[in-house]
Amino acid sequence: MERRRFTLNAVQSLALSFACLILLGALLLMLPWASRDRASLPFLDALFTATSASCVTGLVLCDTWTQFSLFGQAVILVLIQIGGLSFMTVSALVSIFLGRRIGLHRRSILMDSVGALQMGGVVRLTRRALKVTVVCEGAGAAALLVWFLPRYGLRGVWMAVFHAVSAFCNAGFDLLGTGASLTSAAGEPYLNIVLILLIIAGGLGFLVWDDILTHGTRFRRWRLHSKLAFTGTLLVFLVSGIAFYILEGGHAFAGASAGDKLLMAAFQAVTPRTAGFNTVDLRSLSQSGTLLTMILMFIGAGSGSTGGGIKVNTFAVLVLSALARVRRREDVDLFGRRLDEEDIHKAFSAVSMYFMVCIAGCMVLCLQGIALDDALFESISAMGTVGLTRGITATLPAFSKVTVALMMFAGRVGSMSVAMAITRDRPRAHLRNVPEKILIG
């Protein structure tokens, strides 16, 4: 009897690469010299931190600067960088530098890693993704050096590099040592603006950057994907920024000057889209502001970017599809183009799976004694690889830590991809080929 050779598909390879990266990172963070006190970090805490870094989330059990030595911080930074680009992208880039040929299987994996629409040109897109990353992070580090160097001396060089990578990869890890993210720098316009630009640059997606590098500002020549991602990002930023300015003027932003309120509103409009930094205490947000933050975390960044969430493109497809149904139109049109019906089905399927995982995770946290509003906020933040928290991460019970870590993993790899990775196609000969209508809604 001939044995069937087991091979991993693209999705399974991507999920396995992230799992291996997380495990390796956890083992390195457990080493005594990774911590300042030279005490070995418990495995579960190391695994949680490695997952948060590899999945570019930013949820932490302890302050990064206080807990980890320079070696530990370097491990976290490498995990963030590899996780932001994805392990398969980095390995492909190494192969390219060594002059090795990229096979069809690895090209299919790269498509999922960098968000390519087709296999042709995926290697070129991967090279451009690296160039964009190096330029943005390099420019960001140089810009941040102006702010960090006068305040922290030579330590500011490392802090500038770390925060540039963390911001571009939408990771949310910081080295300020306050244990409260960037709340101590809420009134620093220069730092806030540089970080906002880095977060947006990383959250646009590499396909958008490919169109920008190829066609410049000739918007008409961009792909439909890039037009949708860019326009959606701009609209979400403007609408949510205005909303935060109005909603939080007498709550989280109370006591600040008009200029500081505007800066806080702008930062708060950007950071929930999977960046993870925060310049205000999230527990001081109004109920409306908290809900808006959760909505932004759910939406996330652009498709094929370093960020998470259901993605701006997916959200736009859902809205446009709903509007088309209300108008009783068969097709969904945008920028003079018709959206592929298969993409619409994928959008609804991905969001449904994403929502179910969020609710399941929230239920587990509630069963562990966590309040509903905190549990829901934490679940969406983990699943969206955002990293914002209402202060409960450090106090999570062991089983809740595992649950949150699994949600971070699913959110980075993709909830649909995780489901596809652990299932295999089965014959469906018993199903009838004739479609049958069911009642929807």
Separation CA 402–CA 400 (nearest Å): 5
Q: What is the dihedral of CA 139, 123, 301, 306, to 10 degrees?
A: -60
pLDDT category of residue 436 using cuts at 50, 70 and 90: very low
240 in Cβ contact with 269 (< 8 Å): yes
CA distances to 68, 81, 125, 174, 392 from 31, rounded to whole Å, are: 11, 21, 37, 21, 26
Q: What percent of the chain has pLDDT over 70?
A: 83
- What would you measure as the largest C-alpha separation in the chain, in angstroms? 78
What the block records as the tokens of 386 is 């955002």
Helix and strand element counts for the chain (H, E): 18, 2
pTM as predicted = 0.88
Query: To which residue do tokens 């989330």 refer?
Result: 57
Query: To which residue do tokens 């939406």 refer?
Result: 299
What the block records as the tokens of 101 is 């040929």
> What tens digit of pLDDT does each residue of 150-164 get?
999 999 999 999 999
Full DSSP string of 48-87: HHHHHHHTT----SS-HHHHB-HHHHHHHHHHHHHHHH-H
Residue 439 confidence (pLDDT) above 70: no
Q: What percent of the chain has pLDDT over 90?
A: 54
Residue 437 confidence (pLDDT) above 50: no
Separation CA 427–CA 438 (nearest Å): 23
Q: Supply the pLDDT for residue 117.
A: 54
Residue 271 neighbours by CB under 8 Å, 6+ apart: 172, 199, 277, 278, 279, 388
3-state SS, residue 311: coil
Question: Element (H or E) spanning 276, and its range?
Answer: none
147 in Cβ contact with 122 (< 8 Å): no
> What tens digit of pLDDT does each residue of 247-265 get?
998 888 988 899 999 999 9
Q: Supply the pLDDT for residue 364.
A: 96
Query: To which residue do tokens 């918007």 refer?
Result: 219
> What tens digit of pLDDT does each residue of 333-370 get?
888 788 878 878 888 888 888 999 999 999 999 999 99
Query: To which residue do tokens 């991993």 refer?
Result: 8
Residue 27 confidence (pLDDT) above 90: yes
305 DSSP 8-state letter:
S
> What tens digit of pLDDT does each residue of 279-326 get?
999 999 999 999 999 999 999 988 878 888 888 888 988 888 888 888
Let me know if 124 is exposed, middle or buried by CB neighbors in 10 A (0-12, 13-18, 19+). exposed
Query: To which residue do tokens 């932001």 refer?
Result: 84
Question: Of 138-147, 156-165, 205-214, which gets the smallest average pLDDT?
Answer: 205-214
Separation CA 62–CA 66 (nearest Å): 8
Separation CA 30–CA 41 (nearest Å): 5
